[in-house]
Amino acid sequence: MLILLYAMVALGYLLLAARGWIMAGAVDQQAVARTADGVGHSGGFAAWERIALAAIWVLHFLLIRSDFESPEGVRFGFALALSATMWLAVAVFWIESLFFSLASMRLLILPIALLCALLPAWFPGSAALTSTGLGGNPAFEAHLVVALSAYGLITIAALHALLMMALDRWLHKGEVATEASTALWARVEQAVLRQLPPLLTMERLLFRLVGLGFALLTLTVLTGVVFSERLFGRPMSFDQKTVFTLVSWFIFAALLTGRALYGWRGRVALRWTLSGFVAMLLAYAGSRFILEVVLHQV
């Protein structure tokens, strides 16, 4: 049953991602509706694609649940953390796509979700939560859901930032008909970026995601203090996970403060967003990867 779930989730993400790339490469430049800044809205999800992605998302949830509740007890490693994060990121993307033309984003999200969904098959993690007595604790599970929700939102924000950087570079580069512009990759790049909303719309959406992700990250830090005291007898244990989580929190706090007080935007905001995402990624997934894969400690 578990192998079948892995196969169905992987095949589903693969087919939808492949269709996205095929559609992006087939976009006719004259068929794109222009906006004021030269970027248009084109297509989006077909109804059947949206339904298919929702079905794959449900299967991905069942896969995560099966990996989480192993026969040896409740387990949670870096691979399962990445899988759950991308599962939430897909959900956020699905909801976003109802209101914005974000078909291009699936070209990044779905391949990453495919890879992360398969990772627990090779790196299942350990049954560490059972040994702490926190497995099955409703309060701890709520803390875990909040933390993963923060990770999912910030992951989507980081993907937004990457697309915005590519879009900004493309707009400044222009559409001069050079030899390079006739290359297949250049044509696909144009087709992909043409499907994005205007930069200002993307920027507003980026800060909404960062703001909500920061609120959940703050709640994660506060609830983490409670469980740290229960596990280690002190409010905060300054291990790698805690340090990078706090670094990420301060980066996003500085970004939102700079936005409110000084109007930070553009490339400055994108760099801060990506820096905060990297710190957040190192907080749990990075530390568990080192322990499980590099040091072989569970």
Q: Is the pLDDT of residue 33 over 50?
A: no
| Model pLDDT, residue 67 | 76
The rounded distance, in Å, linking the Cα atoms of 132 and 231 is 7
Question: What percent of the chain is modeled with pLDDT above 70?
Answer: 70
Q: Tell me the mean pLDDT in the region 160-182.
A: 70
Of 102-106, 172-176, 273-277, which gets the smallest average pLDDT? 172-176
Residue of 298 and 259 predicted with greater confidence: 259
Of 58-72, 101-115, 169-183, 219-233, which gets the smallest average pLDDT? 169-183
| Model pLDDT, residue 35 | 42
Q: Can you give the residue range of the structural domain that contains 115?
A: 2-294
pTM value is 0.78
Instruction: Read off the pLDDT of residues 241-272 as tens digits, 9 standing for 90 and up.
Output: 888 899 999 999 999 999 999 999 889 999 99
The rounded distance, in Å, linking the Cα atoms of 44 and 35 is 16
SS3 at position 98: coil
Would you state the structure tokens that stand for residue 190, as one six-digit string? 């144009």
Q: Tell me the mean pLDDT in the region 83-111.
A: 86
Give the list of residues 6+ apart from residue 252 with CB closer than 8 angstroms, or none.
154, 210, 213, 214, 217, 272, 276
Of 12-16, 115-119, 140-144, 155-159, which gets the smallest average pLDDT? 140-144
Counted domains in the chain: 1
